[in-house]
Structure 1
Amino acid sequence: MASTHSKQLKEWLRQREVEELNLRRSMEEREIERADIDKRATERRLFRRLHLERREAETEEAILRAKEAQSLRLAQYEQEEKLAQELEKLQREELKQAKLRQKLRETSIELKDLEAKLRAAYVTKELAAQLAEKEAAKMEEKIREQTAHELQRSLWQQDEELERQRDLEEFQRKLRYRTELQEQMIEAEKQRQEAFKEFLREKKMVDDIVRQIQEEDMREMEQKMINMQKTQEEIEEFRKAREAWKQKERMEMEEENRRLVEYVQMQDMAQQQRMELMRQKEEEKAKVMEKIATALHVEQMKRKEREEIIQELLEEEARLAAEKKEQEEIEKQLRHRIEMRQQQKEYQRQRMEQLKREAAKESEERQRLLAKFAEDDRIEQLTAERRRLKVIEHRRAVERELEERRARRAEEMRKLIRLAELEKEEEKARLRLIEEERLRMLKEHATQLLGYLPRGVLREDDLPHLGSDFVEKYRQDQENT
């Protein structure tokens, strides 16, 4: 018990020493860490002071740069503002021109027709490109097919070679197998023959034993007969019967042996015939499979070609239907516009004729108005002087009325004439703008569509506006066609 207590006390003292040692080590580490923290704090204060000094210098420099940049930005802003105003003015003008061109395109039958023809030219070019691409694709497909055929042929040849090699190996294997089988069969035949010989030997032994037994029996019978004092003739007859029986037994044995040999030969021939029949069936099956594969490939190529032709026909029908619909719409708008213009002209013509008729009937109108005024005032009931004054007053009123009507007719006539002149001027301006837009559209698209533009799109007087390069290419294209 005292020894245990002493051990526990020693252990406790040892642990206290370890704890004190750890505590001193921890305090030393804390002192080192505190010194390091003070050092880093001093360095940070120094770095902060240097950083503040550098920031003040950078701030002053930045203020100077900002003032210079502000002056530069102000000048640049004024310049950009001026450029922006000019650009906005140009953009407004361009937008105005673009809207005008767009309106002309939407309302002008000529530009719609030109746009439709240009689209048709693009479609023709695209179709030509597609046809060329299809032709190239067909050619490439043919080359690929030819390459594939050659590769297939090569693979077939390789397959045939491999097949021949396999067949040769199979033939050699079968030949070896057959040789081995024949050797086995020969060996088996030898064994069978040996067994047969052994069988024959055993049979001979058995037969000999049987014969011996029979001979012994015969001898015994002979001896018995002798003992029984049979005659010599009976003995001789017995011997002949015994010899005949022996001959018959030998013939039966030979016939049995012959049948055994024939049966073995027939089994060999049947086995050979079965093997030959299997080989012929395998060859016929391989030929049939090759013919089926070739026929399937040819049928697949024909079906693919038919599908491509049908697709091309459907695309062409859709394109022609769209062109026909668009042409009918253009013709409808053109007829409507012509009818509206004719109606307007007819109205103006009828109105001018009506004004002319009214001017021609002015004297009749004067008399009618005088009669009307006289009726209204009952002039026949007045005295002669008052009647004369009234007639003068009536004539002056009629003249004023007629003058006002003449003035209205003249004003309306001038308006109609001015309207017709304005319509002519507007039509001329519209035609001029349409012509400018037509030339602009041709300049934009004609070079790309050279060789695909429909007849009538280009006029001879358009060529100088399209550039010398286009004219040269156009002349060459015309010479080639």
Structure 2
Amino acid sequence: MITQIQEEDRIARDAELAKKEEQRQFIEKFKQEQAEWRANEIRRNQEEDERVARYKAEKDKQEKEMETKKADNNAAKEYCQEKLGNMLTAIRQEQEEFEKLVCELAMNEQEERAKQAEKERDEKVIRDREELMRVHQLHTQMKLERQAAEQAQENLYRAHIMAKFAEDDRIEQMNAQKRRMKQLEHKKAVEELIRIRREKKEESHKQAIAEREREVQEARIKAQIIEEERQVILQQHADQLLGYLPKGVIRDQKDLERLGEKYIEAYKPTSQREFEKNFDEE
């Protein structure tokens, strides 16, 4: 019995010792884990501090680089603006000088063309005067020749009719007085026939002239109608046709004035030659 009790006490003591050992090991393990956690926490904090420091340093570096880049961009922008301004000023000056030169050339060219036009006009007046004199002389000559031919025809016609009347009236069988009387009658009749013939020719000539004048008038009216239709079509489609009209459609400055400011500006010449180039047909 005593032995059993002693054995139970031993077992209890061993269990108590085992429990205390287990608690000691648990405490040691907990302390070790706590130490490891603190070490890890310290390491993580150090790493976080280092990361924050690196981030801050990188951010400061980027900000400095951005400021430097911004300063460089501003300097480059100012340089480009200054250079562009200088270029625009130079281009404007060149354009003004070019326009001035064009105006001077246009004025010189216009003056030269005016002199040439005046010379050609004077020469044309002389040629027209000479041509008029030549035509007048030719007309006079043709008129004289026509009158001579008509007179010859009348003389031939008169002789033919007189002979026919004499033959019809057997005038050779009459005595001298009756023959003279009959010849006078024949002469009056022949002159009357010639007068009637002249009047018919004159009337035919007048009708021919009237017919030609009528044809000319009809052609003029037709041309006027076509011109009015042309102007109506141009005005109706002016906006769509600007820039696409072939040469010759716009004939003169009046056409441009009828079509409006857009056409006047589009066809604005820089010289007399350019003006003629805009309106003349190829």
* TM-score range for the pair, normalised by the shorter chain length: 0.3 to 0.5
Q: Which is greater in Rg?
A: 1
Q: Which has the higher contact order (CA 8 A, sep 6+)?
A: 1
